[in-house]
Chains A and B, each alone.
Chain A
Amino acid sequence: MKFLARRLAFYVLAAWVSLTLNFFLPRLAPGDPASALQQKFQGQLDPEALSAMKIAFGLSDEAAHVQYFLYLRNLARGDLGTSIAHFPAPVSEVIGTAILWTLFLAGLAVTFSFAVGTLLGILSAWRRGSWLDWAPPLFVFLGAFPYFWLAMLLLYTCGFSLGWFPLRHAYSNTLTPQFSLSFMLDVLHHAILPALSIVTASLGGWLLSMRNTMIGVLTEDYVTLALAKGLTEREVMFRYAARNALLPSITGFGMALGFVISGSLLTEVIFSYPGQGSLLFEAVTARDYPLMQGLFLAITVAVLGANWLVDIAYVILDPRTRR
Chain B
Amino acid sequence: MLDIHPQFLWEFALVPMHHDQPALSESQAVSRRALLAAGGAALLSGCHKRLLPPAEEGVAVVVPTQRATWIRNFNPYFQSQCRWPGVAGIYEPTVIYNRARGKFVPWLARSWRWENGNKTMILTLRDGVKWADGRPLLPSDVVFTFELMKQHEALDQSSIWKHLNEVTRRGPEISFAFHHPFTLPALFLIGRQPIVAQHIWKQVKNPVTHADPHPVGTGPFNQILSFKPQMYEVGANPNYWQPGKPGLKKLRIPAFGGNEAQALALINGEVDWGAAFLPAIDRIYVSRDPKHRGYYFPSLEGTVMLYPNTTQSPYDQVVVRKAISHAIDRKTIVRVAMQGYTRVADATGLSDLYKKYHDPRVLTEEGDHTIYDPHKAASMFDAAGLRLGKTGFRTLQNGAPWVVDLNCVVGWSDWIIAGEIMVKNLRALGVNATLRTYAHGAWFDKLQRGDFQLSMCWSDGAATPHSFYQRLMSKDTLRPLGELAENNWHRFKSERADELLDALAATADAQQQWQLASDLQREFVRHAPAIPIFPGPTWGQSNTIRVEGFPSKDHPYSVLAPYKSPDQLLTLVELRPTGTPPLCDNPGEGAVDDLPGLGGPQ
Contacts and interface: CB of A to CB of B under 8 A. Distances in A.
Interface of A: 29-31, 35-53, 55-56, 82-83, 85-89, 93-94, 97-98, 148-149, 152, 155-156, 159-163, 167-171, 173, 176-177, 265-266, 268-274, 278-282, 284-287
A278 B68 contact: yes
A38 B80 CA distance: 10
Chain B contact-residue range equals 35 or more
Interface string B36-77: 110011001001111000000000000000011101110100
Contacts of A282: 28, 67-69, 257
A43 B460 contact: yes
B154 A35 contact: no
B229 A155 contact: no
A273 B257 contact: yes
A40 B27 contact: yes
Nearest to A82: B209
18 contacts: A36-B440, A40-B29, A41-B23, A44-B301, A87-B73, A87-B78, A88-B209, A152-B40, A160-B48, A160-B264, A167-B265, A171-B230, A173-B252, A265-B2, A272-B261, A274-B229, A282-B28, A282-B67
Given A42-B20, A280-B2, 12 more contacts: A35-B445, A43-B461, A48-B158, A87-B73, A87-B78, A160-B50, A167-B265, A168-B261, A268-B68, A269-B257, A274-B68, A274-B255
Contacts of A148: 5, 9
Q: Is the interface of B mostly helix, strand, loop or mixed?
A: loop
Contact of A51 (B78, B159, B467): B159
B302 A43 contact: yes
B541 to A, nearest CB: 17
Most buried by B among A39, A167, A266: A39
B442 interface: yes
Most buried by B among A29, A168, A282: A168
A278 B69 contact: yes
B153 A55 contact: yes
B549 to A, nearest CB: 24
Interface string B133-176: 00000000000000000000111111100100000000000000
B211 to A, nearest CB: 6
A42 B261 contact: no
B268 A52 contact: no
B22 interface: yes
Most buried by B among A29, A269, A272, A278: A272
A41 B486 CA distance: 13
A195 B211 CA distance: 34
Contacts of A279: 68-69
B301 A42 contact: yes
A270 B260 contact: yes
Contacts of A53: 78, 80, 154, 157
Given A51-B159, A52-B156, A281 B2 contact: yes
Contacts of B80: 37, 40-41, 45, 49, 53
Given A42-B536, A46-B157, A86-B71, A272 B27 contact: no
B357 to A, nearest CB: 18
B458 A42 contact: yes
Most buried by A among B27, B80, B159, B441: B27
Contact of A161 (B48, B78, B440, B460): B48
A94 B81 CA distance: 14
B301 A43 contact: yes
A151 to B, nearest CB: 9
A148 B8 CA distance: 10
Contacts of A161: 44, 47-50
Contact of B37 (A41, A160, A269): A160
B406 interface: no
Contacts of A286: 27-28
Given A88-B210, A265-B2, A272-B256, A44 B22 contact: yes
A39 B444 contact: yes
Most buried by A among B31, B69, B153, B209: B69
B265 A168 contact: yes
A30 B441 contact: yes
A31 B441 contact: yes
Contacts of A176: 226, 228
Contacts of A269: 68, 257-258
A173 B261 CA distance: 15
A231 B262 CA distance: 58
A169 B231 contact: yes
Nearest to A50: B486
What 7 pairs between A and B have smallest CB-CB spacing? A163-B50, A31-B441, A278-B68, A47-B486, A48-B159, A56-B154, A43-B458
Contact of A88 (B153, B208, B448, B458): B208
Contacts of A284: 2-3
Nearest to A93: B71
B542 interface: no
A286 B153 CA distance: 23
A159 to B, nearest CB: 7
A155 B154 CA distance: 43
A273 to B, nearest CB: 7
A121 to B, nearest CB: 30
Given A40-B27, A42-B22, A44-B22, A98 B257 contact: no
A49 B24 CA distance: 12
A274 B442 contact: no
B37 to A, nearest CB: 6
Nearest to B486: A47
A31 B486 contact: no
A89 B153 contact: no
Interface string B235-274: 0000000000000000010111110111011001000000
B441 A36 contact: yes
A268 B230 CA distance: 12
B441 A287 contact: yes
A50 B301 CA distance: 19
B462 A89 contact: no
B497 to A, nearest CB: 18
Given A29-B441, A160-B264, A286-B27, A88 B301 contact: no
Contacts of B41: 156, 160
